[in-house]
Amino acid sequence: MELEALLKEIVERNRPLTDKGVVAHYIPELDKARKDALGIVIKAVNGKEYYYGDCDTRFTIQSISKIITLMLAMLDNGEEKVFSKVGMEPSGDPFNSIQKLETSLSKKPCNPLINAGAIAMASMIKGPDERARFERLLEFARKVTEDPSIDVNYKIYCGEKETGFTNWAMGYYLKGDGVIEGNVPAALDVYFKQCSMEVTAHTIAQLGLFLANDGVLSTGERVITPRLARIVKTLMVTCGMYDESGEFAVRVGIPSKSGVGGGIMSVVPRKMGIGVYGPSLDHKGNSLAGIAVLEDLEQAIDLSVF
């Protein structure tokens, strides 16, 4: 079967699963997403692109942005400094849990892909103020996704800032433990804006391709080192799907990062980047039908890195 025909068959087979999930509603405006939307984009290293479904729908990147912020934080500060502030281990807790900040011996976030760790990463982006720091992050996001159209959805940004009380609590807790060295509201402003950047499945598939190519753009320009790309992909395997990461690694077996906007960005090293959009979520905050699409795709064409 041709790949485009396979994608159509897999998406339509799994679309009924969207009825079983829920669209994120705890952030204002996210609940306006069409629940039955589902689409997939594959961008191969040979330049070919395959897609089907709701691939051009714009949605907020949410936690997939944590990958971009981690890369820029490592470029700005170096690997050693970054991992003096966050760990490299799965948390085993929901992505917005504050519990381990108090109970862990290290007194730092378990990894940079949970909310606490991502807030710490946002605080490490260089710049004279939060506006300049986010502008650098936005330009970096546009570069590594090769999508100059990325911008902030300001309704969602305002909703995140006004209702993200747990994230505010995490920020001040991190400040108290010395993880955040600068201004807490400034770090949180960067974080809320990064989560509110609008993308499509094409955008995140291109980000996956960038990582599949070990940090090289389609132009041939190297942006990050192969080592930094490997760090990111490894953390995606162990921590990228929240506290569902272990099960996802068994079922699908490719580095991936999800967001509550409905996106999943996946990487098949040296082969392809994949972007999936399906805003109907399971109870862990991952796209319910999106995971099923990736599992069926893996079984059809053997993508697992294991």
| Tens-place pLDDT, residues 230-264 | 999 999 999 999 889 999 999 999 999 999 999 99
The region of weakest confidence among 82-96, 128-142, 246-260 is: 82-96
pLDDT exceeds 80 at position 138: yes
Angle in degrees, CA 102, 105, 110, rounded to 5 = 75
Residue with tokens 């629940």: 35
In a domain, 304, yes or no: no
Of 261, 262, 260, 253, which Cα lies nearest the Cα of 233?
253
pLDDT exceeds 90 at position 96: no
In a domain, 29, yes or no: yes
Q: What is the pLDDT confidence band of residue 98, given thresholds at 50, 70 and 90?
A: low
Question: DSSP assignment of 47-92, as one string?
Answer: S-EEEEES-S--EE-GGGHHHHHHHHHHHHH-HHHHHHHS--S---
The region of weakest confidence among 34-48, 103-117, 226-240 is: 103-117
Give residue 92's pLDDT. 65
- Provide mean pLDDT across the span 266-289: 97
Annotation marks residue 258 as catalytic: no
In a domain, 306, yes or no: no
| CATH classification at residue 117 | 3.40.710.10
Structural domain that includes position 127: 62-195
- Alpha-carbon distance of 280 to 264, in angstroms, equals 12
**What are phi and psi for residue 257, nearest 5 degrees?**
-140, 130
What are all long-range contacts of 212-221, with beta carbons under 8 Å and residues at least 24 apart? 212/45, 212/267, 212/268, 212/269, 212/270, 212/271, 212/272, 212/273, 213/45, 213/270, 214/269, 214/270, 217/143, 217/144, 217/146, 218/47, 218/146
Question: Does residue 255 sit in the same domain as residue 289?
Answer: yes
pLDDT exceeds 70 at position 93: no
Give residue 27's pLDDT. 83
Give residue 25's pLDDT. 86
Catalytic residue, chosen from 63, 65, 97, 258, is: 63
- Percent of the chain at pLDDT > 70 equals 95
- pLDDT tens for 186-217 read 999 999 999 999 999 999 999 999 999 999 99
Q: Which residues touch 252 (CB under 8 Å, ≥6 apart)?
A: 266, 291, 294, 295, 298, 303, 304
Give residue 91's pLDDT. 73
pLDDT exceeds 70 at position 106: no
Question: Does residue 180 sit in the same domain as residue 210?
Answer: no
Catalytic residue, chosen from 179, 190, 237, 260, is: 260
Question: Does residue 11 sit in the same domain as residue 134?
Answer: no
- Provide mean pLDDT across the span 129-154: 97
- Percent of the chain at pLDDT > 90 equals 90
Annotation marks residue 242 as catalytic: yes
pLDDT exceeds 70 at position 83: yes
Annotation marks residue 63 as catalytic: yes
Annotation marks residue 51 as catalytic: no
Give residue 90's pLDDT. 87
- Provide mean pLDDT across the span 42-64: 97
- Alpha-carbon distance of 47 to 25, in angstroms, equals 37
Catalytic residue, chosen from 23, 50, 66, 173, is: 66
Annotation marks residue 193 as catalytic: no
Give residue 66's pLDDT. 98
Mean pLDDT over each residue of the chain, to the nearest integer? 94
Question: Does residue 94 sit in the same domain as residue 175?
Answer: yes
pLDDT exceeds 90 at position 87: yes
- Alpha-carbon distance of 114 to 241, in angstroms, equals 10
Catalytic residue, chosen from 157, 242, 245, 256, is: 242
Residue with tokens 């820029």: 72
Per the structure, the count of domains in the chain is 2
Question: Does residue 293 sit in the same domain as residue 205?
Answer: yes
pLDDT exceeds 90 at position 107: no
- Provide mean pLDDT across the span 60-68: 98
Say how many C-beta atoms besides its own lie within 10 A of residue 206's C-beta: 23
pLDDT exceeds 90 at position 95: no
Give residue 269's pLDDT. 97
**What are phi and psi for residue 281, nearest 5 degrees?**
-105, 155
Give residue 31's pLDDT. 87
Residue with tokens 């499509």: 200
Catalytic residue, chosen from 51, 157, 191, 277, is: 191
Question: Does residue 160 sit in the same domain as residue 219?
Answer: no
- Provide mean pLDDT across the span 279-302: 96
- Provide mean pLDDT across the span 140-166: 96
In a domain, 305, yes or no: no
Question: Does residue 92 sit in the same domain as residue 186?
Answer: yes
Question: Does residue 274 sit in the same domain as residue 215?
Answer: yes
